[in-house]
Amino acid sequence: MAGKFSEEDLASFRTVFNSIDTDGNQLLDRDEFQKFADEVGSADSFPTDLIFLLFDENNDGKLSFDEFVTFLTVGSGSGDFSPFFERLFKKLDKDNNGTLDVDELVDFIKLCKVPVDPAVVKQELVKSNKKDLTLPEFLELLNSI
């Protein structure tokens, strides 16, 4: 991680992290992260449950500094959010078969709080004779929402 960023960048990230870490335990819990998201106005854009699914690598329910830096930097600055969506796709693909089935898509809709009725997604897949979506098809779906 440190090799990708200057010491100055990491110091800036650490300052932000420490300001969010209100209990000083060097880990961000969901409440601390939610407060941060509310303060910066991105709570709707990045639901806490989704962030923790994608960036809590060890699944301890908290974000370490390294996990937080990964969150801050995936896709940032480049305008290319494909690394974010690829990470999302891999996390949603619970059976690791390289596609998302209807149930996995419904999980995505619920997790992201997308204002789309899961039943409509199911109907659309049936109409298009699709049982599942590949990553490119998933990205196309995201662009249409």
Both 68 and 87 in one domain: the answer is no
The confidence score (pLDDT) of residue 4 equals: 75
- pTM metric for this prediction: 0.72
**Residue 78: pLDDT band with limits 50, 70, 90:** low
**Which of the listed residues 45, 73, 101 is the one where a domain comes to its end?**
73
The domain that holds 112 is classified in CATH as 1.10.238.10
| pLDDT higher at 100 or 120 | 100
Considering the domain architecture, whether residues 112 and 135 belong to the same structural domain is answered as yes
Q: How far apart are CA 1 and CA 5, in angstroms?
A: 7
pLDDT in tens, 82-116: 777 888 888 889 899 999 888 888 787 777 766 77
One-letter amino acid at 23 equals D
Distance CA 133, CA 98 (A): 9
Q: Taking a C-beta distance cutoff of 8 angstroms, is the pair 99, 93 a contact?
A: yes
What's the whole-number average pLDDT of the chain? 82
Work out the pLDDT band at 145, boundaries 50, 70, 90. low
Are 58 and 14 members of one domain?
Answer: yes
Do 61 and 21 sit in the same domain of this protein?
yes
Residue 115, domain extent? 82-144
Token pair recorded at residue 6: 């200057």
* 69 and 97, same domain (yes or no): no
Number of domains in the chain: 2
pLDDT band, very low/low/confident/very high, at 2 (cuts 50, 70, 90): very low
Token reading at 39: 């303060």
In this structure, the answer to whether residues 106 and 134 fall within a common structural domain is yes
